[in-house]
Amino acid sequence: MTPAGGRFPAKWTAARRLLQEWRGFDESARPDRASPVADILGKLLPQLGLDTRIKEADITAAWKGIVGEFIAQHSQPERLVAGTLHIRVIQPSVRYELDRTWKPEIIRKLREQFGEKVIRDIKFVL
């Protein structure tokens, strides 16, 4: 058996012709509906709420570079909900210092890196 058109053995081609007659249209004339995976995921992730999880992972990975070694040792981004980044801190004194002194600077750096719409506020939690 030799390939017909380089794709299928001859018996498959006969079966294919039979199916085309039965269905009433030529399958080879069907438009190519293939799309790049990136396009499909770009539409699907927001619908599933997973785009936020990706941003959370990016923020967690960049946290040390944004806040510095000392603050990174005493705090960790926990979750991002409706533009508010919740950050877990290990001590009340660190929470007070971050909330009163460093909050505007941390928000500015986060917005520079991730955009205005991603981070609107920060909430420090124990």
Two tokens, residue 80: 């991002």
What single-letter amino acid sits at 54? I
* 3.40.50.300, 2.60.40.10, 3.30.300.180, 2.60.40.730: CATH of 49-125: 3.30.300.180
Q: What is the model's pLDDT at position 86?
A: 93
- Of 104, 114, 124, nearest to 57 by C-alpha is 114
Q: What is the model's pLDDT at position 2?
A: 45
Give every residue of the chain whose pLDDT is below 70, as ranges: 1-12, 25-32, 48-54
Largest CA distance in the chain: 80
Q: What is the model's pLDDT at position 1?
A: 44
Per-residue pLDDT of 34-51, as tens digits, reads 778 888 877 877 776 666
Q: Would you say how long the chain is, in residues?
A: 126
Q: What is the model's pLDDT at position 96?
A: 92
pTM of the predicted structure, to 2 decimals: 0.58
Q: What whole-number distance in Å separates Cα of residue 90 and Cα of residue 104?
A: 20
Extents of the domains making up the chain? 49-125
What does DSSP say about strands 75-81 and 84-89: parallel, antiparallel, or unpaired?
A: antiparallel
Tell how far CA 58 is from the center of its chain.
9
Q: What is the model's pLDDT at position 11?
A: 67
Task: Compute how many other C-beta atoms are within 10 angstroms of the C-beta atom of residue 24.
Answer: 6
Per-residue pLDDT of 92-106, as tens digits, reads 999 999 999 999 999
